[in-house]
Amino acid sequence: RVELVESGGGSVQTGGSLRLSCTASGRTLCIAWFRQAPGKEREWVAHIDHDGTTGLTESVKSRFTISKDNTETNAWNRVYLEMNSLKPEDTAMYYCAADGIYCSALNPTKDTEFGYWGQGTQVTVSS
């Protein structure tokens, strides 16, 4: 079983930046970030495939970047979500999700596709 641990959340003002990290206890092939705001359904934010191919939802495409740690010791154990120009509507609990299947072989925008989940890290953006 793979355990995922998120970190890097916090409170910032509009326009601020945060970098979330997701660390996996084992090797994974597809890692994604989802978020859930109070009273709303969980939504896909971004994903990264083993070959580095990425996808981001339209509302964050110009502001967020997803990347993986390329150092040999952390190869495919750690993924980052760099969030810039944050807006109040980005406020949510952010969850890291992973699976042992390539993103290209599943629908990485659907939370039901992922077998491993972290506990989440809160991001709060104030106006």
Predicted confidence pLDDT, tens digits, the chain (127 residues): 899 999 999 999 999 999 999 999 988 899 999 999 999 999 999 999 988 999 999 999 999 999 998 665 555 689 999 999 999 999 999 999 999 999 999 999 999 999 999 999 999 999 9
pLDDT of residue 75: 54
- The C-alpha angle 85, 47, 97, rounded to 5 degrees, equals 105
pLDDT of residue 93: 98
Both structure tokens of 49:
């495939």
CB 86 within 8 A of CB 12: yes
Helix H or strand E segment including 83: strand 78-83
